[in-house]
Amino acid sequence: MGRVVRFYLPGMFTQFGKTGRYPGVSITGPRCQLMCDHCRAKIIEIMPDCSTPEKLIKYARNAESEGAFGMLVSGGSDAEGRLPWAEFSPALKFITDETNLFISVHCGFPTKSQMSLLKSANINQALIDVIGNDIIAKYVYHLPPGIAWNAVINAFESGIEIVPHVLVGLNYGNYSNEEEAIDLISQYKPKRIVIIALRPTKGTPMHKSVPPSPGRVAKVIRYARMKFPTSIVNLGCARPVGLHKRKLDKLAIMEGVDGIAVPSSETMNWAEENGFQVIEQPTCCSMPPLSMDTHHNEA
């Protein structure tokens, strides 16, 4: 068989009659003070509301009993990009102690003390957005100067496994210093890096923006592959759909990605027809390989 390409299905998606077994929840419900231009809380609005520690624990127990492999804990931010980890770290510790769930958190833009709390909760990994330009961080994320990069330092120096996410086209679909973002994290040599692309979303200031072309996203993937030759480089679920997705997915595979979240059926068939070894995994693409892999041609 040829090179392995892993296809992921997070818990927020149902595809080909299957639903992922890695749900995402919001510890702030639909609320976010930061209200970034590309999101405006639209992502967390559709997540289950786990806005109290008790709700989070109950949801995690139920998710495990229903066969989930893990859970992504996310939420809205305050005006400086922080999530309420002080309030929720004891609940996270309870979940990591009392369940077998693999726990990822989308940590926002944390302080050192917040990362220490997450470390003490024994979470498995933290996901963080890496922005290559402080001006973009200010005008798109509404963050005060310096917070975005300091948060990345705080995250990587915490000792937790960090999975950086680089969003191509963050600046209203235009060039957004993505290669610079990759350069910024190259010193840390992350085990995994996820490339995503702007998907203009109704109800946000970027609704009518033109997303970056498949070729532009593929170029960023190529750069990440070059900078991180031994890391897992994946194409995440946040990206345009339709023809854009079908074109990008094939380009991404040819540029050397290790995995793709929520691929099209055309992409999956194309990969098999071209000699790639296709493995399906019903989780977020940040999670390591499961011990019980499902090969596409056996499904």
Mean pLDDT value of segment 259-273: 94
In tens, the pLDDT along 170-197 reads: 999 999 999 999 999 999 999 999 999 9
Q: Using pLDDT thresholds of 50, 70 and 90, give the confidence band for residue 67.
A: very high
pLDDT at 293: 47
**Confidence check: pLDDT of 201 > 60:** yes
Go through 194-228 and write b for each residue having 16 or more CB atoms within 10 A of its CB, e for each that does not.
Answer: bbbbbbbbeebebeebebbbbebbbbbbbbbbebb
pLDDT at 1: 53
Mean pLDDT value of segment 4-9: 96
The structural domains of the chain, with segments of one domain joined by +, span 4-298
Dist CA 219 CA 53 (whole Å): 42
Tell me which residue has tokens 């600046």: 171
Contact 204, 39 (CB under 8 A): yes
Compute the mean pLDDT over every residue in the chain, rounded to the nearest whole number.
94
Q: Cβ of 46: how many Cβ atoms within 10 Å?
A: 10
Q: What SS3 string covers the chain?
A: CCCEEEEECCCCCEECCEECCCCEEECCCCCCCCCCCCCCCHHHHCCCECCCHHHHHHHHHHHHHCCCCEEEEECCCCCCCCCCHHHHHHHHHHHHHHCCCEEEEECCCCCHHHHHHHHHCCCCEEEEECCCCHHHHHHCCCCCCCHHHHHHHHHHCCCCEEEEEEEECCECCECCCHHHHHHHHHHHCCCEEEEEECCCCCCCCCCCCCCCCHHHHHHHHHHHHHHCCCCEEEECCCCCCCHHHHHHHHHHHHCCCCEEECCCHHHHHHHHHCCCEEEEECCCCCCCCCCCCEEHHHC
**Confidence check: pLDDT of 61 > 70:** yes
Mean pLDDT value of segment 277-287: 96
In tens, the pLDDT along 223-255 reads: 999 999 999 999 999 999 999 999 999 999 999
Q: Using pLDDT thresholds of 50, 70 and 90, give the confidence band for residue 291.
A: low
pLDDT at 13: 85
pLDDT at 226: 97
Mean pLDDT value of segment 135-145: 94
Mean pLDDT value of segment 208-212: 97
Class of domain 4-298: alpha beta
